[in-house]
A and B are shown apart, each in its own frame.
Chain A
Amino acid sequence: MDTTEFLIKLILVISVFGISLLIAMYSTYAERKVAAFLQDRLGPNRAGPFGILQPVADGVKMFMKEEIIPANADKFLFIAGPSLMMLTACMTGVVIPWGGELTIGRNTFNLQITDVNIGLLYIFGVVSIGVYGIMIGAWASNNKYSLMGGLRASSQMISYELAMGISIIALVMTTGTLSTKEIVEQQSSWHWNILYQPLGFLIFLVCAFAETNRTPFDLPECETELIGGFHTEYSSMKLGFYLFAEYINMFISSAILATLYFGGYNFPFIESWGLSPNAVTIIGTLLFFGKIFFFIFFFMWVRWTIPRFRYDQLMNLGWKVMIPLALFNLFITGIITLWRNGAF
């Protein structure tokens, strides 16, 4: 890897990191605004015009709060929990193809940090480490509510990861690759995977809600029964990390949804506009972010529509509905693939 390439990658890494943080920051603002608007209210509108500075104010508030580590908590793990959560949340952005190729001078570079050929597996691996952040934090708090939250989080994530994985296998069967870049390239123009894998998309979407602990699957942190669940004992910026990581996860999940099922940076008929390749790339990236924002909005929209599941309902849905459905989807996909390859 020569110096220019290294520099370009470095810039890309920093900007992806910065953008995810920025988007996570403004997701908190958007969440409150969307919540307010869906409930016929106005939401935060005092800090700066339209309340634009609200996330900054929230951040300052988080930093100013007293830092408390409970006496009976395991100090090391107590700090490791939120750090791990934040770390894994920031790591998934690496394999997401943010755009096509950009040519500057003689150099052509990809708007993707790294195109590992097992991108999908990487995402899965990192996401499943994420639950350790919750479990470690919950365990280290030495508090029964936290422990309950942690237990719920882990069993929920494990249950839904299965269905999610199976729905992804069906997707891999149609695309024939695990590289996120190739998956996006295959969906050029309107050949979006949602058209080939509607059921798989639905399963993936529901599981994405469960994986990010968003309503209706926010049982690990439900305020009404568990006073905040796994982060009951957390204060100050450690709590901030947990909340922040949740928003980054939401952003990354939206990006993955858009990448896998909604064509990533592809858009129908963009080639026929006769634009220069660079312009196409930039428009594609913007459209990709548009899709991401739509999904983030969708996450929030659902949050203010559907009430939380009961725990047994959650498990029922996960094991008795989602997994059989995912298997069914896998089966159908297999048959169709065989049929298309002329096996019958």
Chain B
Amino acid sequence: MQALTNRSMVVVNKKMTWMERIYLPAIIGGLMITIRHLFKKKVTIQYPEQERPRSAVYRGWHVLKRDEQGRENCTACGLCAVACPAEAITMTAAERKPGEEHLYREEKYASVYEINMLRCIFCGLCEEACPKEAIFLTDRIVPSGMLRENFIFGKDKLVEGVEPDNRIDVSKRARAHRTY
């Protein structure tokens, strides 16, 4: 049989020689291996200061998108909440009043939109379910915290800013979506 890697070893249940049976050479060999690791480069990434590179289509902290005119895309249809396997999303719908056309794209909008980041498994199904391209996952990591309440992200933390500088680019993820 051909070996798949050069690291495979044939296992034989042969009787151990005397040298093998006193174990000491093997133990010393093992100790030498571990001591070498003492001087190896450490693989730890010191998180808040250092970050591991992430792909642009990473699934992290959600964003609620606005359209080109700065209006919120979300129409509070609730499909994301239905799709969510972790039941992390809750929302309250409200009707758009006259004069609010510049704020909300559709007649109905989410007055409250909350994602519980401790429940969320970052699967991205909300994003797939959304008919309005309103919700996307981004490559931002949800920061850690000490209080559970702080992990319920409301619209203040989810909706992107109106100003061009505060917009959050999801073009790569959006493109990844359109393929299916």
Contacts and interface: CB of A to CB of B under 8 A. Distances in A.
A130 to B, nearest CB: 26
Contacts of B35: 38, 301
B3 interface: no
A42 interface: yes
A40 B40 contact: yes
Given A305-B27, A306-B27, A42 B44 contact: yes
Interface in B14-41: 27, 30-31, 33-35, 37-38, 40-41
Interface string A290-324: 00000000000110111000000000000000000
- Identify whether the interface residues of B are mostly helix, strand, loop, or mixed: helix
A200 B27 CA distance: 18
B37 A38 contact: yes
A305 B31 contact: yes
B37 A306 contact: no
Interface in A227-254: none
Q: Which size class do B's interface residues fall under?
A: 10 to 19
Nearest to A302: B31
Interface in B44-61: 44, 46
Contact of A38 (B27, B34, B43, B46): B34
Contacts, number: 34
A34 B38 CA distance: 8
Contacts of B40: 40
A38 B38 contact: yes
B97 interface: no
Contact of A301 (B34, B42, B43): B34
Contacts of A302: 31
Contacts of A40: 37, 40-44
A41 B27 contact: no
A301 B31 contact: yes
A302 B23 CA distance: 14
Contacts of B33: 305
B34 A41 contact: no
A89 to B, nearest CB: 27
Report, nearest first, the 4 A-B pairs whose CB atoms are least far apart: A42-B44, A305-B34, A305-B30, A38-B34
22 contacts: A37-B37, A37-B38, A38-B34, A38-B35, A38-B37, A38-B38, A40-B40, A40-B41, A40-B42, A40-B43, A40-B44, A41-B43, A42-B44, A45-B46, A301-B34, A302-B31, A304-B34, A305-B30, A305-B33, A305-B34, A306-B27, A306-B30
Interface of B: 27, 30-31, 33-35, 37-38, 40-44, 46
